[in-house]
Amino acid sequence: MNFAPDIFAGRSAVVTGGATGIGWYIVRMLGGLGANVGIVSRKEENLVRASEQFKAEDGIDVAWRTGDVRDPDGIKKAIDELANENGGLDILVCNAAGNFICPTEELSWNGWRTVIEIDLNGTFNCCQAALPYLKNAGDGGRIISISTTGANFGWPTAAHAGAAKAGIQNLMKSLAVEWGGYGIRCNWISPGPIKGTEGVDRLIIQQGMAEKVTKSIPLGVFGDGDDIANAVVFLAGETGKYISGAELVVDGGAQWNRR
Ligand code: HXC
């Protein structure tokens, strides 16, 4: 960790999908830098496992609630409770996502709808629920959504996720304008393949694409979870105070290799 250990002391964060994958690294980083972190995730067993691990390995206490970002009432309740428990809410990280590889010709309506609802509608639901708290954030509220560069270029065989993430990016641009007057900064991070995550396992490794994808990354390796967590810190901290409506790409240069 390369940041001062208390830079988020007195600040509170909620990370959706923070019990696994990229979200897990974001929670550990924010908690390690002094934030009161709450996680909302669907599966209680993942929440219990992650919170016990954070406590044992890093000395971090996290609060958690089970919840599905597709359920606006449930998400509002979870965010209300976490904000009350953690003394408000300064930083919302919209990380929860669903995805799978499926040619669009074969994609069912329900498959399409499911990913749009988790990724795009879920981000909307969380932003709406967090708004009353973010308005009162002392240093200016922060919304950071986890997207993908696939949203900028098209994502063949994951068109559902590409479209949903493109929607998220556009939502962040709109909220940067609409909620800027409340001091809320709205940005998104577009990760490349991050090793050890379920997404990379199912979308790349299980498809037999690991070697091809690795070769396509100019820096030659998959990213670490902490590469994304570091970007969150940059946007959520003092360093991000004049950044809003922006994309931070963390992909080893892969987006420009269209060969
Ligand atoms: C085709 C599929 C499918 C698949 C699900 N569906 N998986 N269709 N191929 N592999 C269809 C189902 O058949 C169903 O449609 C519909 O989607 C809903 O499926 P359910 O299983 O009922 O939905 P649910 O339980 O809500 O599961 C949601 C999910 C799931 C998206 C399908 O995969 C999920 O939540 N995964 C965990 C989260 C995750 O993977 N996060 C990491 C994202 S990584 P029918 O018509 O049959 O009813 C990421 C970036 C990766 O986004 C970057 C890599 C570079």
Residue-by-residue pLDDT tens, the chain, 259 positions: 589 989 999 999 999 999 999 999 999 999 999 999 999 999 999 999 999 999 999 999 999 999 999 999 999 999 999 999 999 999 999 999 999 999 999 999 999 999 999 999 999 999 999 999 999 998 899 999 999 999 999 999 999 999 999 999 999 999 999 999 999 999 999 999 999 999 999 999 999 999 999 999 999 999 999 999 999 999 999 999 999 999 999 999 999 998 7
Closest CA to 97 of 226, 198, 170: 198
Phi, psi angles (nearest 5°) of residue 185: -95, 130
98 lines ligand 1 (CB under 6 A): yes
Concatenate the DSSP letters of all residues of the chain into one string: --S-TTTTTT-EEEEETTTSHHHHHHHHHHHHTT-EEEEEES-HHHHHHHHHHIIIII---EEEEE--TT-HHHHHHHHHHHHHHHTS--EEEE---------GGG--HHHHHHHHIIIIIHHHHHHHHHHHHHTT-TT--EEEEE--THHHH--TT-HHHHHHHHHHHHHHHHHHHHTGGGT-EEEEEEE--BTT-HHHIIIIITTT-HHHHHHHSTT-SPBPHHHHHHHHHHHHSGGGTT--S-EEEESTTGGG---
Residue 4 resides in a domain: no
CA of 101 to the centre of ligand 1 (A): 9
3 lines ligand 1 (CB under 6 A): no
Domain around 31? 12-250
CA distance 35 to 238: 14
Residue 133 resides in a domain: yes
Tell which one of 24, 43, 100 to mutate to probe ligand 1, the residue whose CB is within 8 A of the most ligand atoms. Answer: 100
Residue 236 resides in a domain: yes
CATH of the domain at 151: 3.40.50.720
CA of 154 to the centre of ligand 1 (A): 18
Residue 258 resides in a domain: no
What integer pLDDT is reported at residue 1 of this predicted model?
Answer: 59
39 lines ligand 1 (CB under 6 A): no
Residue 196 resides in a domain: yes
pTM: 0.97
Provide the number of structural domains found in the chain.
Answer: 1
Residue 6 resides in a domain: no
